[in-house]
Amino acid sequence: MRGSTSRLFRSAARTMQSPSALLPTFHTSLQSFASSPSTFLILHTIPISAPPSSTSSQIKTVHVLDSSFNPPTRAHLRIALSALQSTRNASKPQRLLLLLATQNADKAPRPATFEQRLAMMTILAQDILDQYHPTATSQGSTAQNGMHEESLLAVDIGVTKYPYFHDKAISIDEFKSYAGPATGEQPQQVHLLGYDSLIRLLDTKYYPPDHTLDPLSALFNKHRIRVTRRMEDGDKYGTAEEQDRMWEALARGERESEGGKREWAERIEMVEGEGEAMSSTKVREGVGKGDWALVERLVGKGVREQVQGEGLYVADDKEG
Ligand SMILES: Nc1ncnc2c1ncn2[C@@H]1O[C@H](COP(=O)(O)OP(=O)(O)OP(=O)(O)O)[C@@H](O)[C@H]1O
Ligand SMILES: NC(=O)c1ccc[n+]([C@@H]2O[C@H](COP(=O)(O)O)[C@@H](O)[C@H]2O)c1
């Protein structure tokens, strides 16, 4: 049976603190989460004055960036900002969920601990807020900027026990605090994926015992996917046209024998990646080599300071 969701462990970290000061709170929250039946939990919200229930308007869309954040890169920042800008509308509250999977489909939980990653996610959240509202303060005080509270962005930092996107979508749906105050209606989720994750989303090897794409109906019946084409040094993912072929094959019905419905393509948006090829792996390698110029190009100043200050990724451990 699917575990219940709850806000029981919503972090006590409600005041602006340095990311490292949050580590003990995150450690305790993660332990409570691990031993609870909850499958999804929001541990922290920035601005701190904006928990989901504080907004009187219906949240129509929750953008979800699910990642290992090991560490968060400028690519994560761009992916989130670009999606938020695309739905910017003064009359609606904007919500972003930075989601850390405590069980990854493919990766072991190292080298950085989950609490270190959560701390870096708070830095990413603040960077996103600063770039989305260049004049707003980190305290959530908006009146002085002449902006209505409901037009603002709030960023949640959450954890999930599920490695697969369709399960994550269901457990977020079950998290009642995102529901409209009057209607109880759940917002639509827009999952922000890179092209490499689209490949894995549509790979039947992840869906035993039948190994069909049927389980993805739970995701595509209601929610959407926004895919950023991925650039790499070398030819790993191919050109933009080559990356779009996966979407085109789905739209032509070529995945129907595997359970992939052609109408799902209408719920997938392919968007351009920008700038230098980036990955968390490249950051970890940069730290390992002491190439701080490279690291600075790939991560924001706050994340770089946290990585340096906490001595993260210095050991020769390549796994993400
Ligand atoms: N440079 C990028 N371009 C497009 N998508 C990206 C980029 N970096 C990350 N993503 C996407 O963001 C999501 C989460 O990122 P993830 O944690 O896997 O980053 P990563 O850099 O690929 O990590 P690692 O290098 O540790 O494997 C994934 O869906 C991934 O495809
Ligand atoms: N089919 C799927 O739903 C599927 C497959 C592989 C990875 N994932 C998830 O995607 C997220 C990002 O994965 P990586 O950190 O490996 O890029 C993780 O939460 C991971 O568990 C989902």
What is the CATH number for 131?
3.40.50.620
Residue 193 has phi, psi (to 5 degrees) of -120, 155
Mutate to test the pocket of ligand 2, among 76, 98, 165, 217 (most ligand atoms within 8 A of CB): 165
* Residue 285 falls inside a structural domain: no
Atom from ligand 2 closest to the CA of residue 103: 21
**H or E stretch at 304:** helix 301-310
Residue for token pair 């990585």: 307
Residues 6+ apart with CB under 8 A from 209: none
Closest residue CA from atom 10 of ligand 1 = 194
Q: Is residue 6 part of a domain?
A: no
- Separation CA 269–CA 247 (nearest Å): 9
Find the 143 Cα to ligand 1 centroid distance in Å: 36
- On whether residue 305 sits in a domain, the answer given is no
3 belongs to a structural domain: no
Crossing angle, helix 114-132 and helix 23-35, to 10 degrees?
Answer: 110
List the domain range (segments joined by +) for residue 36: 19-277
Domain-located, residue 294: no
Would residue 109 count as lying in a domain? yes
Chain-centroid distance, C-alpha 232? 21
> Per-residue pLDDT for the chain (320 aa), expressed as one digit of tens each?
344 333 333 333 334 578 999 999 999 999 999 999 999 999 999 986 655 555 556 788 999 999 999 999 999 999 999 999 998 876 678 899 999 998 877 777 778 999 999 999 999 999 999 999 876 544 444 433 444 454 589 999 999 999 999 999 999 999 877 887 777 788 999 999 999 999 999 999 999 999 999 999 999 999 999 999 998 766 788 889 999 999 999 999 999 999 999 999 999 999 998 878 899 999 999 999 999 999 999 999 999 999 999 999 997 555 54
What token pair was written down for 302?
A: 């706050």
Please indicate, yes or no, if residue 4 is contained in any of the structural domains: no
Estimate the crossing angle of helix 74-86 against helix 114-132, to 10 degrees: 50
- Write the ipTM: 0.97
Q: Report the separation in Å between the CA atom of 181 and the middle of ligand 1, taken as the mean of its atom positions.
A: 34
Residue 184 lies in a domain: yes
pTM, to two decimals: 0.90
CB 18 within 8 A of CB 52: no
Q: For residues 247 and 241, give the distance between their C-alpha atoms in angstroms, rounded to a whole number.
A: 10
Ligand 1 probe mutation, 78, 197, 227, 270, most atoms within 8 A of CB: 197
Domain count, the chain: 1
Three-class SS state of 155: strand
Q: Which residues of 106-129 are buried (b: 16+ CB within 10 A; e: fewer)?
A: eeebebbbbbbbbbbbbbbbbbbb
